Amino acid sequence: MRLLNRLALHLATLVAVVLAGGFLAAALVRYSPGFDSIPEDLNTALSPETLQALHARYNRENSLPRFYVRYLGGALRGDFGVSQSFGQPVALLLRQRAPATGRLVIWGTLGGWTLAALLAWTAVWLRRSVLTAAAASVSGLLLAIPPAVLALAFFFYQAPLGLALSLGLLPRLFGTLRAILEECHASPALLAARARGIGPLRIGVCYVAGAAAPQLLALLGIAIVLAFGLAIPIETLCGVPGMGALTVQAATARDMPLLCALALMITFLVTFVHAAGDLAAGDERA
């Protein structure tokens, strides 16, 4: 019963946050400077009365409450409208761009998680001050380099951009993973297991991964969200035809239908990952 209540609460939160995220995105675009301008303003052959009538119709069609209600009705049917800047259906643009971003985020998350875990294990488990200082220095150095600059260097040398995203993600995970491993390393259960002569593989599986599963699951969700955020400047600077570059182009062009769809998708991703991590962590604690 408790699980059903938690599921219902997370579902209601998911719907509310997604709807609010889409509305805020539409509001930011609608009331941004220059949104009320239309292409016909540059046509000197039109009379002031005609321009006034065109502006009045444009404002009626883009009235925020009316637009958002109409947009949500179409979105429920899978119709996200037509992009004002690309002149193509938004759903088609999303289907075309999502695979590139998906591959970049997945490989970047896996790589960043693995590298951060290895660096944290080096700092905690080997118990050598030189290695601990080296691990902290590597993490600090990577944190000081903007991920987009790092990706640009990878792009010039034709290296995998997924690795650049991994290196950008590493310092953002290192500190938390290190704290988790420190807690596991000092736990009485692990010390007793080592005293009984239990092998390192079993200790790693049962007394580290098993004991820290709730924190690791929650951190994995955060890593996915962080990776998507890092992918936006990487795709923009390196010319990757993905969702990140599409987001920047839509924001620059004040493309309300496209931005609303992106806001709904991004808000859904962030909220869903957070809810899934919270549910999984709650089950582990139970």
Residue 111's pLDDT is 92
Residue 168 predicted with pLDDT over 70: yes
pLDDT at residue 22 is higher than 70? yes
Q: Which amino acid is at 188?
A: P
pLDDT above 90: residue 169: yes
pLDDT value at residue 165: 92
pLDDT for residue 109:
92
State phi, psi for 83 to the nearest 5 degrees: -65, 130
pLDDT confidence band for 280 (50 / 70 / 90):
low
Domains of the chain: 2-35+80-285 (1.10.3720.10)
Nearest Cα neighbor of 108 from 233, 11, 2 is: 233
Give the pLDDT confidence of 203-213 residue by residue, as tens digits.
Answer: 777 767 777 77
Amino acid at 260: C
Q: What is the DSSP string of 82-113?
A: B-TTT-SBHHHHHHHHHHHHHHHHHHHHHHHH
Whole-number pLDDT of residue 195: 77
Across 67-76, 152-161, 163-172, the highest mean pLDDT is recorded for 163-172
In 3D space, the residue among 224, 225, 272 whose CA is nearest the CA of residue 17 turns out to be: 272
- Residues whose CB is less than 8 angstroms from the CB of residue 238 and which lie 6 or more positions away in sequence, other chains included: 151, 152, 154, 155, 161
Q: What is the pLDDT of residues 106-129, one digit of tens each?
A: 999 999 999 998 998 888 877 788
Cβ neighbours of residue 71 closer than 8 Å, sequence gap 6 or more: 22, 26, 80, 81, 257, 260
Looking at residue 6, its pLDDT comes to 75
pLDDT value, residue 193:
76
**Long-range contacts (CB closer than 8 Å, 24 or more residues apart) made by 146-153:** 146/233, 147/230, 147/233, 147/234, 148/233, 148/234, 148/236, 148/237, 151/233, 151/234, 151/237, 151/238, 152/237, 152/238
Question: Which residue(s) pair with 82 in the sheet?
Answer: 89
| pLDDT tens track for 249-274 | 888 877 888 888 888 888 888 888 77
Query: Minimum mean pLDDT among 40-44, 82-86, 142-146: which range?
Result: 40-44
84 or 83, which is more confident:
83
pLDDT at position 1 is 65
Q: What is the pTM of this model?
A: 0.78
The mean pLDDT of the chain is: 82
Look at 22 and 51; give whichever has higher pLDDT: 22
Q: What is the pLDDT of residue 116?
A: 92
Residue 285 pLDDT > 60: no
pLDDT (average), residues 163-170: 92
The answer on pLDDT for 284 being more than 60 is no
211-223: per-residue pLDDT in tens?
777 788 778 888 8
- pLDDT tier at 240, thresholds 50, 70, 90: confident
Q: Give the HSE-up count for residue 90: Cα atoms under 13 Å, Cβ half-sphere.
A: 24
pLDDT of 286 > 60? The answer is no
> What is the rounded distance in angstroms from the CA atom of residue 50 to the CA atom of residue 47?
5
Neighbours of 273 (CB within 10 A): 18
How much is the pLDDT for 38? 67
